[in-house]
Chains A and B, each alone.
Chain A
Amino acid sequence: AQKITQTQPGMFVQEKEAVTLDCTYDTSDPSYGLFWYKQPSSGEMIFLIYQGSYDQQNATEGRYSLNFQKARKSANLVISASQLGDSAMYFCAVTSGSRLTFGEGTQLTVNP
């Protein structure tokens, strides 16, 4: 079975600063994918970034980057230059067959 652990229930960051959201995973699949999704208070799940287990380089998408450490089974999300609109719940997920297995999320609050 796959498992995702997000150890930070809540995080606070000042606007324009960078923040790292932690994610560790456990999977027996030799090939897997890691995803980060953002869920604002309105409820929709918004895809942010993807990292394949065989990708040599860390994924980046604009202000988002994924710090992938395969040996440690860690896939932390780094948000640079935080904006007020980044305040939301953030979920890490791993592919498990075709399904996604999600962590419990981290509530990020960006302070002005």
Chain B
Amino acid sequence: GAGVSQSPRYKVAKRGQDVALRCDPISGHVSLFWYQQALGQGPEFLTYFQNEAQLDKSGLPSDRFFAERPEGSVSTLKIQRTQQEDSAVYLCASRIHRVKDNEQFFGPGTRLTVL
């Protein structure tokens, strides 16, 4: 498919477990974003990559959250020692160009439930 894909679509973790969420952006898209969407809320920015460089990680809520994009394509968001408040949908988006007003294309999200 030509869209942004994310895996897994659903993840259930016990409190304290580590999780890794994957994002495959649209081929050739330079920019990649991660957002967190709590139930009934709008998405909130977590972090931004331009190619392999993480240019903004100011939205990561704690040092338990870590994201990488080592080859400038696939990205992984890792959450260590998950807590119940981490339960949310994690959305990945990509953008073709670094010009800020280009549309961001979103993936279907990963719904994380921490028990």
Mark A residues whose CB is within 8 Å of B.
Answer: 4, 33, 35, 37, 42-47, 50, 52, 91, 93, 95-105
Can you name the residue of chain B whose Cβ is closest to the Cβ of A42?
B108
CB distance from A8 to the nearest CB of B (A): 14
Tally A-B pairs: CB < 8 A: 61
Mark B residues whose CB is within 8 Å of A.
Answer: 31, 33, 35, 40-45, 48, 50, 55-56, 59, 89, 91, 93, 98, 100-101, 103-109, 111
Cβ contact of B106, chosen from A44, A52, A95, A96, cutoff 8 A: A44
A4 to B40 alpha-carbon distance, docked (Å): 15
Cβ contact of A98, chosen from B35, B41, B55, B111, cutoff 8 A: B55
In the complex, what residues of B have CB within 8 A of residue A50's CB? 101, 103
CB distance from B72 to the nearest CB of A (A): 16
A93 to B33 alpha-carbon distance, docked (Å): 15
Can you name the residue of chain B whose Cβ is closest to the Cβ of A35?
B103
B43 near A45 with CB under 8 A, answer yes
In the complex, what residues of A have CB within 8 A of residue B111's CB? 43
